[in-house]
Amino acid sequence: MQLQGAIFVLLPHLGPILVWLFTRDHMAGWCEGPRMLSWCPLHKVVLLVQTAIYSVVGYASYLVWKDLGGGLGWPLALPLGLYAVQLTISWAVLVLFFTVHNPGLALLHLLLLYGLVVSTALIWHPINKLAALLLLPYLAWLTVTSALTYHLWRDSLCPVHQPQPTEKSD
């Protein structure tokens, strides 16, 4: 893999790094305590999975770029343009969820993102089958994050569904 490959692998991490740098004071504790779902992965697991998925998706975009001849040009416009849009939406979800604390709006963006990733996989498949297949773990992860976001959104609208604190007996 050349220098361009490393850039493609690292590019998806730019958004989360910038979101964290500018909003880290707004992130702490928002999704903890009674709001925490029992089946929610630990924060460290989320970071590990997100890092792996962003790296794999970045590598997949490199494969598409390389198979289309590299450089810049019209053949790259749709496959990598669609990828750029879904990457931007992915970064926007981080802001909506962790900074704005709006799970409803984040859920809408996640559903849009899901459709964009499916579209990207369908566009990439004729260009590079491996690149399209490398998007499948991302779709699985989006399913998990959408389910978590849906439950947080539902609980914020319907207090009946919110987890109730249990009393500890001595």
**Tally of CB atoms within 10 A around 30:** 14
Q: Which region, left, alpha or beta, applies to residue 33 given φ > 0 means left and ψ of -120 to 50 means alpha?
A: left
Distance CA 41, CA 39 (A): 6
Which is more confidently placed, 61 or 24? 61
Task: For residue 118, give both structure tokens.
Answer: 């499916």
**Which sequence spans correspond to the domains of the chain?**
1-20+40-154
**pTM summary value:** 0.79
Mean pLDDT lowest for which of 20-29, 65-74, 84-93, 97-106?
A: 20-29
Q: What percent of the chain has pLDDT over 90?
A: 34
Q: How far apart are CA 114 and CA 111, in angstroms?
A: 5
Q: How does DSSP classify residue 164?
A: P
Give pLDDT, residue 168: 63
- Mean local confidence (pLDDT), 60-82: 85
Q: Say if residue 27's pLDDT is above 60.
A: no
For 81-130, what is each residue's pLDDT tens digit?
999 999 999 888 888 877 777 888 889 999 999 999 999 999 999 999 99
68 pLDDT tier (thresholds 50, 70, 90): confident
What is the chain's alpha carbon radius of gyration, rounded to the nearest angstrom?
Answer: 18
Length of the chain: 170
Distance between CA atoms of 150 and 107, rounded to whole angstroms?
Answer: 6
Average pLDDT over residues 20-39: 60
List C-alpha distances in Å: 96 to 19, 64, 80, 132, 149: 10, 30, 24, 27, 11
CATH number for the domain formed by residue range(s) 1-20+40-154: 1.20.1260.100
pLDDT in tens, 38-61: 656 666 777 788 889 999 999 999
Confidence (pLDDT) at 115: 95
Residue 100: DSSP 8-state: S
- What separation in angstroms does the CA of 61 have from each of 68, 73, 78, 89, 94? 11, 15, 12, 16, 21
